[in-house]
Amino acid sequence: MERTMTLATMKTALFYGARDLRMEETPIPHPKPGEVVIRVETALTCGTDLKTYVRGTHKMIPTLPSPFGHEYAGVIAEVGRGVTELEPGMPVVTANSAPCNQCYFCRLERHNLCENLRFLNGAYAEYVRVPKRIVRQNLYRVPPGVPFERIALLEPLACVVHGVERTGIAMDDRVAVIGAGPIGLMFVRLIKMTGADVIVLGRSPWKLDAARRYGADHVIDVTAGDPEKHVRELTDGRGVDVVIEAVGLPEIWERAINITRRGGTVNLFGGCRKGSEVRIDTHKLHYEEKRIMSVFHHPPRYVAMAFDILLRGEVDESVLISDHLPLERLADAFEKMERREALKIALTP
Ligand SMILES: [Zn+2]
Ligand SMILES: [Zn+2]
C-alpha cells in the first residue's frame, strides 16, 4: 500500500511501562519552524530500548507514555519554515539528541553531559518529527546507494566511537571486550581497526561467532569454566591492558575491574540499573593503579566520525542486524532479544 502525506494518522509504538508497549494511531506530525518530519524507512532495536522495555524506566524516557525508538533512517517528508538546505524526498539520518552549546558542560566541551540534552524518541513509528537543534547539529544527508539499515547504526556507533576515543587504546594493547551484544561487537570492530588484540567474553556461541567475523582474536564462552582465569592464562597472569564492559550489570563491572592488569584501564561502558552498587577492592585499586572510567552517549563530533565510518563501509551491518520484522511486531522483537536469539532487529513501518 502506498503511504502518502494525505493520511491523517500513522502507526506509532507508545511505551507505557515495563513490558507495556502499544501500537496506536496518532496524528502524523508536522514540523515547526526549523524542524523536519522524516518518514521512517528502517528503525533498529537497541539494547537500551530493551533495558527500558524490561525495567520500565530510563534516563532517555522522562515521561510515560512515551514515543519510543531512536535508531532510524528515512526520507524527509516535510520541512519546517526556515529549513533551506533540505527538501522532501531526501534520504537522511539523525542522532537522537543534540546539545545546547550554552550550558556549563557544553562550554567545557563535554557536550554529551549537556544539562539541556533532550532525547529524540519516536523512531518506532511511520513518521518522526526532528527538533531544530538536532536538524542543525546532528542530521546527515545519506548519499545514494547506502542502505538505510546500515546508516541507521549512526547513533550507537557514535557512542562506541566516543568510547574508543576516550579510552585511549594503543596498537599493541590487548583489550578485553565483555559482552557480545551489538555494542560489544561494534567495540570489537573499531578496536580491531586500531590494530590492538581483542579478547571477547560472551555467553552465546553464535554471538561469539559474530565477534570472530569482526576480527576478534580470542573468544571466551563465559558459561564454560572460569572466564577470569582464562583471561589471566591468555595474558601471562597479568590481566589485560584495557577492558571494555559492554553488558551493564554490577557483577560484570566487578569482573571487568578484576581482569584489568596493574596500571590498566577499564571503561565501564554498559549502564546499570539505577541504584546499583559494586564492590571494589580499594587496596587493589590504589596499589595497582587501575584507571576506572565510564563513557556515556556522544558529542556531535563523534556522530560525524561514525557517519564517515559507515559511509566507508567499515562496519558490516549484516553482522549486527540478525533479523527483520514489521514494526507491528516490536514487542516480539524485544522478547526475541531478551531470549538472546537476536542482535539488532530492523523494523519496517
Ligand atoms: Zn541506541
Ligand atoms: Zn549544554
Give residue 145's pLDDT. 94
Q: What are phi and psi of 65, to 5 degrees?
A: -70, 155
Per-residue pLDDT reduced to its tens digit, 44-58: 999 999 989 998 888
Which pLDDT band, with edges at 50, 70 and 90, does 36 fall under? very high
Give residue 337's pLDDT. 94
Give residue 4's pLDDT. 52
Ligand 1 midpoint to CA 156 (Å): 5
The span from the CA of 169 to the CA of 265, in Å, is: 9
Residue 10 has pLDDT above 50, yes or no: yes
The span from the CA of 90 to the CA of 105, in Å, is: 34
Give percent of the chain with pLDDT exceeding 70.
98
Ligand 2 midpoint to CA 80 (Å): 24
Ligand 2 midpoint to CA 223 (Å): 43
Q: Which ligand has an atom closest to residue 95 CA?
A: 1
Give residue 61's pLDDT. 84
Q: Beta strand 91-94 with 20-27: parallel, antiparallel or unpaired? A: unpaired
Residue 285 has pLDDT above 50, yes or no: yes
CA-atom Rg of the chain in angstroms: 20
Length of the chain (residues): 349
Residue among 102, 105, 122 nearest 114 (CA): 105
Which pLDDT band, with edges at 50, 70 and 90, does 1 fall under? very low
Which pLDDT band, with edges at 50, 70 and 90, does 307 fall under? very high
Per-residue pLDDT reduced to its tens digit, 319-329: 999 999 999 99
Q: Which ligand has an atom closest to residue 72 CA?
A: 1
Ligand 2 midpoint to CA 160 (Å): 21
Ligand 1 midpoint to CA 231 (Å): 29
Per-residue pLDDT reduced to its tens digit, 226-254: 999 999 999 999 999 999 999 999 999 99
Output the average pLDDT for the chain: 95
Per-residue pLDDT reduced to its tens digit, 83-134: 999 999 999 999 999 999 999 999 999 999 999 998 899 999 999 999 999 9
Residue 263 has pLDDT above 50, yes or no: yes
Residue 75 has pLDDT above 70, yes or no: yes
Q: Which ligand has an atom closest to residue 182 CA?
A: 1
Assigned C-alpha cell, 208: 561469539
Ligand 2 midpoint to CA 47 (Å): 26
Q: Which ligand has an atom closest to residue 298 CA?
A: 1
Give residue 6's pLDDT. 56
Give this prediction's pTM. Answer: 0.95
Domain parsing of the chain, residue ranges: 9-153+315-348, 160-293
Give residue 323's pLDDT. 97
Q: Which ligand has an atom closest to residue 108 CA?
A: 2
CA distances from 112 to 17, 97, 100, 262 (A): 26, 9, 10, 30
Beta strands in 120-229 (DSSP E): 127-130, 139-141, 174-178, 197-202, 218-221
Which residues are CB-contacts of 65 (< 8 A; sequence separation ≥ 6)?
A: 14, 15, 16, 22
Per-residue pLDDT reduced to its tens digit, 155-175: 999 999 999 999 999 999 999
Residue 38 has pLDDT above 50, yes or no: yes
Q: Which ligand has an atom closest to residue 43 CA?
A: 1
Per-residue pLDDT reduced to its tens digit, 178-207: 999 999 999 999 999 999 999 999 999 999
Give residue 2's pLDDT. 47
Pick the CATH number of 160-293 from 3.40.640.10, 1.20.200.10, 3.40.50.300, 3.40.50.720: 3.40.50.720
Residue 267 has pLDDT above 70, yes or no: yes
9-153+315-348 CATH: 3.90.180.10
